[in-house]
């Protein structure tokens, strides 16, 4: 088999890249080691920046998002038992975010690819990438007991943090930067109405909490927990009781509880790979970087990686120039590090760090108190939260 771009990974990054390249007349094959149901079973972020929603429209898959997604013009930050609203609309000149779960984004992209009859190989075993440092790269895999090979012009590694693409790069050709946080997020999904029409980020003496949502009838809540905690230790009743203790009195009173649909603990880390290009191999999304979920940047960064990569491939095939592929890594990393900074900072001011002592809580309070009384501080939060423009800073 031969294709122009072999995409490893059928998560939202890989599927979005495939759809955008299809719109541009560029052939792709997507390989995924898991089943479609497994991919759709991953519960992930639900906050989309304008850049991401524009890309989904460009890919022709935005109709359901606009019909069912929730536009949010702000969110609340809670500390000292009092909520403060961050007016995104006012502070950024009309920008908002879209609440639409990553599972739904993936489903829309899957449906579009299937409808177009484009090749996606699920349950591809033993995927290996070869000769990506030459002009004749190829991918091999096994399916139903048979070996297969794909010749291609380029490879896109959209296969996540544990995927084969980054792991195949020689160690002396890559640098990895990582910070692991001393806590995780215990998340609970429930078919209950959200406690508030916008998100609530809570800093409390008992730890961080986040009240999020997927629709008017489905909610997603998170609690900061020690890394040693196991999901089995947390009954639904224990989760709801602890969440109430971390909210203000009004929110705690309004909180509607119910049985969980899904419950899991996710560790928090900051991780960046440099560079993101190795000959004819390009890393995108979680294969190249991870951000703490506090800033809601993971899926949005993946989308902008895909945008830069799509443009680079279009320029290569249409305009016969390699300028875009040569600058891909540098352009992505500039944006990635800005998002890493915001996510690190937002995590640092909203979570408990027991090993840093009582002084850290006092410094957090001073920082939050300043931000809530400074228009410049509020604008800094807002413009980073809605997402910096693709051309920000050149």
Tell how far CA 106 is from the center of its chain.
12
**151 neighbors 138 (Cβ within 8 angstroms):** yes
**Catalytic residue among 181, 201, 221, 328, which?**
201
* DSSP summary character for residue 379: H
Query: Exposed e or buried b for every residue in 328-348, given b needs 16+ CB within 10 A?
Result: bbebbbebbebbbebbbbbbb
**Catalytic residue among 196, 263, 297, 351, which?**
297
Tell me the two tokens of residue 120.
Answer: 């996606």
Distances (CA, A) of 318 to 68, 213, 322: 36, 42, 11
Is 38 catalytic? The answer is: no
d(CA 392, CA 53): 18
Is 130 catalytic? The answer is: no
Is 201 catalytic? The answer is: yes
User: Exposed, middle or buried by CB within 10 Å (0-12, 13-18, 19+), for 176?
Assistant: exposed
Tell me the two tokens of residue 196.
Answer: 């508030």
d(CA 158, CA 156): 6
**Catalytic residue among 12, 72, 141, 181, which?**
72
d(CA 279, CA 50): 31
Tell me the two tokens of residue 202.
Answer: 């809570």
**317 neighbors 295 (Cβ within 8 angstroms):** no
Half-sphere exposure of 181 (CA within 13 A, CB side): 27
Query: What positions carry a catalytic annotation?
Result: 72, 201, 293, 297, 385
């Amino acid at each position: 088999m031969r294709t122009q771009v072999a995409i490893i990974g059928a998560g939202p990054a890989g599927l979005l890249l495939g759809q955008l390249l299809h719109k541009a007349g560029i052939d792709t094959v997507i390989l995924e080691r898991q089943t479609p149901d497994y991919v759709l079973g991953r519960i992930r972020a639900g906050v989309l920046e304008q850049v991401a929603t524009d890309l989904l429209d460009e890919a022709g898959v935005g109709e359901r998002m606009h019909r069912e997604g929730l536009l949010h013009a702000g969110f609340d930050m809670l500390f000292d038992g009092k909520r403060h609203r961050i007016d995104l609309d006012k502070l950024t000149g009309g920008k908002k975010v879209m609440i639409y779960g990553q599972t739904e984004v993936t489903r829309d992209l899957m449906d579009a690819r299937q409808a177009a009859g484009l090749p996606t190989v699920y349950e591809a075993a033993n995927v290996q990438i070869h000769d990506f440092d030459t002009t004749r790269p190829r991918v091999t895999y096994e399916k139903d007991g048979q070996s297969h090979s794909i010749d291609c012009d380029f490879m896109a590694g959209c296969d996540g943090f544990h995927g084969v693409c980054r792991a195949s790069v020689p160690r002396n050709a890559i640098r990895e930067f990582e910070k692991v946080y001393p806590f995780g997020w215990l998340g609970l999904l429930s078919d209950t109405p959200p406690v508030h029409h916008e998100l609530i980020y809570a800093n409390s003496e008992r730890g961080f909490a986040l009240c999020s949502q997927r629709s008017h009838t489905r909610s997603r809540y998170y609690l900061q927990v020690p890394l040693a905690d196991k999901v089995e230790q947390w009954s639904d009743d224990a989760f709801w009781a602890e969440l109430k203790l971390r909210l203000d009195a009004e929110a705690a009173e309004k909180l509607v509880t119910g049985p969980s649909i899904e419950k899991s603990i996710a560790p928090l880390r900051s991780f960046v790979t440099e560079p993101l290009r190795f000959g004819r191999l390009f890393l995108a999304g979680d294969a190249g970087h991870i951000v703490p979920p506090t800033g809601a940047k993971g899926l949005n960064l993946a989308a902008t990686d895909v945008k830069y990569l799509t443009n680079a491939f279009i320029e290569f095939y249409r305009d016969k120039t390699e300028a875009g592929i040569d600058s891909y890594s540098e352009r992505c990393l500039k944006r990635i590090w800005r998002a890493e900074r915001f996510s690190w900072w937002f995590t640092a001011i909203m979570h408990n760090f027991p090993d840093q002592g009582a002084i850290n809580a006092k410094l957090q309070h001073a920082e939050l108190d300043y931000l809530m009384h400074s228009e410049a501080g509020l604008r800094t939060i807002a413009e980073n939260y809605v997402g910096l423009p693709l051309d920000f800073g050149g």
